[in-house]
């Protein structure tokens, strides 16, 4: 089952036979990496044995008037995405997941969503792809819109299997696959949490906007923009090193980067509210505001995208999470940049569930954010991020070589480590898009030292200016 190409690599090599609606419903969280809440999910099936392939997820529209267009859009995305990769689906499974509202039952949710399920089946059928099963999951029950046999699919629903008791759960546990809680839990890690510091962060954003935005927009010669760019990247590199060192571990200066919590306890806090709060404490409100405003410049954001692997990628994902949480009202739309960077970094480092959630949130904020749209599509189609990483490395090296040549210094000798070829389809090398659209790729600077090394192992490299841009 092709549930998750990075984290589920062991599971994807294991053949698991799912028999009936009950096991399909139980498998969904392992396919996505989280429990979808308030979501419509379409999963592609391939071959005579119905091997799982691509999948798309979207929040269920609140207005029934949007159901028809949403159904058409989702069906087209899944089928066209498979066709582009040469694996057009042979069938589709539909999941509608929604908790009951006050006064509702699981069955009433199922009945309320029945027209949406039927519209999804019609949309897939219009593309000559049959829907083999359509399930509604609500209130701990599953309901089938396709199975007429009340002996296996009663009208009042069937309880879901107890967590961890199914064959799928046992196989996933053996393969090291984790379900990361609910979609709401994952989204909450990227959203402002409120509290007394929110007003302080808002004031810092106001001050930074007044100081930075005019320099970006009103400088005809672009000098102010370049200065803001270099200042932002310099600050980002400094902050990034705080996240690269485990809390309590002394850095090159002998200072520690946080509390002295034992390593075993720190590991148990990973992914919790406590660890996010510890990350928040590493970034001051003024620093967060300056970084958020600076990342609104496309080139600055693109250059920051090079922190994408090794210790850089791990540290950068935590930093982008912090910045997304600091985009308090009325600066919510500014979160598109750090959310997209978080999605790219998560995908590049093998965390596809987090990547999909972050990129989905970025598109909720700005559906026309091109960089997020391209990454979201590529991630959902199961493409390999290595070709984009390679392009970023090449553009970074070209920029550094150009800077060294302009300054008259001797170019550095660089060696490349051969990387294993992936069997997965790779992204095409980004290039110029037609009709005025911007380039797909992004490039940037990186903190000192190679990505696989420890922070502080090299001298920070200076980044130059380039003429190409990613889409917004």
pLDDT tens-place string over residues 282-323 = 999 999 999 999 999 999 999 999 999 999 999 999 999 999
Between 457 and 360, name the one with better pLDDT: 360
- Calculate the alpha carbon distances from 360 to 186, 187, 372, 375 in Å: 11, 9, 8, 10
Across 375-394, average pLDDT: 88
Q: How confident is the model at residue 25 (pLDDT cuts 50, 70, 90)?
A: confident
The Cβ of residue 71 has, within 10 Å, a number of other Cβ atoms equal to 25
- Quick check: 94 and 42 in contact, CB under 8 A? yes
Radius of gyration of the chain (CA): 24
Beta bridge partners of 131: 92
Across 85-111, average pLDDT: 92
Across 85-104, average pLDDT: 91
- Output the pLDDT for position 176: 58
Beta bridge partners of 35: 182
- Output the pLDDT for position 168: 62
Q: Global pTM?
A: 0.68
Q: Is the pLDDT of residue 50 over 80?
A: no
- Per-residue pLDDT tens digits for 248-286: 343 333 333 333 333 433 343 345 788 899 999 999 999
Across 193-215, average pLDDT: 92
Strand duo 141-144 + 91-97: pairing: unpaired
- Calculate the alpha carbon distances from 461 to 67, 228, 230, 399 in Å: 50, 17, 12, 11
Q: Is the pLDDT of residue 222 over 50?
A: yes
Q: Is the pLDDT of residue 68 over 80?
A: yes
Between 228 and 164, name the one with better pLDDT: 228
The strands making up 91-97's β-sheet, listed across from edge to edge, are 51-59, 39-46, 91-97, 131-138, 141-144, 158-159
CA separation for the pair 147, 216 (Å, rounded): 59
CA separation for the pair 17, 340 (Å, rounded): 36
- Quick check: 44 and 82 in contact, CB under 8 A? yes
Q: What percent of the chain has pLDDT over 70?
A: 72
Mean predicted lDDT score pLDDT of the chain: 78
- Per-residue pLDDT tens digits for 404-437: 888 776 555 444 444 444 444 444 433 334 333 4
- Calculate the alpha carbon distances from 353 to 34, 177, 343 in Å: 7, 11, 9
Q: Is the pLDDT of residue 439 over 50?
A: no
Token digits of residue 312: 């850089």
Between 240 and 248, name the one with better pLDDT: 240
- Output the pLDDT for position 246: 54
């Amino acid at each position: 089952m092709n549930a998750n190409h990075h984290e589920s690599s062991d599971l994807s090599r294991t053949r698991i036979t799912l028999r009936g609606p009950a096991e399909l419903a139980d498998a969904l969280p392992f396919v996505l990496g989280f429990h979808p809440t308030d979501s419509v999910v379409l999963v592609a099936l391939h071959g005579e044995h119905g091997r799982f392939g691509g999948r798309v997820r979207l929040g269920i529209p609140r207005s029934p008037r949007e159901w028809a267009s949403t159904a058409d859009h989702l069906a087209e995305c899944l089928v066209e995405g498979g066709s582009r990769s040469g694996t057009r689906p042979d069938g589709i499974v539909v999941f509608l997941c929604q908790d009951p509202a006050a006064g509702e039952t699981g069955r009433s949710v199922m009945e309320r969503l029945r027209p949406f399920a039927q519209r999804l089946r019609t949309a897939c059928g219009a593309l000559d792809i049959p829907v083999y099963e359509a399930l509604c999951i609500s209130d701990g029950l599953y309901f089938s819109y396709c199975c007429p046999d009340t002996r296996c699919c009663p009208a009042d629903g069937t309880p879901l299997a107890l967590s961890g008791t199914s064959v799928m759960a046992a196989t996933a546990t053996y393969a090291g696959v984790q379900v990361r809680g609910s979609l709401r839990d994952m989204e909450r890690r990227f959203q402002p949490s409120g509290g007394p510091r929110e007003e302080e962060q808002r004031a810092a954003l106001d001050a930074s906007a007044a100081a930075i935005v005019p320099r970006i927009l009103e400088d005809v010669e672009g000098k102010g923009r370049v200065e803001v760019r270099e200042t932002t990247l310099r600050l980002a590199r400094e902050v990034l090193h705080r996240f690269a060192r485990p809390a309590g571990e002394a850095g090159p200066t002998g200072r520690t980067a946080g509390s002295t919590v034992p390593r075993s306890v720190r590991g148990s806090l990973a992914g919790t509210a406590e660890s996010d709060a510890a990350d928040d404490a590493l970034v001051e409100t003024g620093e967060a505001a300056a970084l958020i405003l600076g990342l609104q410049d496309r080139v600055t954001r693109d250059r920051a995208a090079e922190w994408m692997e090794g210790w850089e990628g791990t540290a950068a994902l935590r930093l982008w999470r912090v910045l997304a949480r600091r985009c308090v009202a009325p600066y919510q739309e500014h979160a598109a940049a750090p959310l997209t960077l978080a999605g790219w970094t998560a995908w590049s480092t093998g965390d596809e569930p987090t990547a999909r959630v972050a990129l989905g949130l970025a598109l909720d904020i700005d559906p026309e954010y091109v960089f997020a749209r391209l990454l979201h599509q590529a991630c959902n189609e199961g493409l390999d991020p290595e070709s984009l990483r390679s392009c970023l490395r090449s553009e970074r090296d070209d920029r550094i070589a150009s800077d060294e040549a302009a300054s008259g210094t001797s170019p550095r000798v660089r060696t490349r480590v051969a990387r294993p070829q992936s069997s997965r389809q790779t992204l095409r090398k980004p290039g110029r898009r037609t009709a005025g659209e911007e380039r797909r790729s992004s490039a940037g600077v990186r903190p000192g030292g190679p990505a696989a090394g420890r922070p502080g192992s090299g001298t920070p490299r200076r980044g130059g200016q380039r003429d190409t841009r990613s889409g917004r």
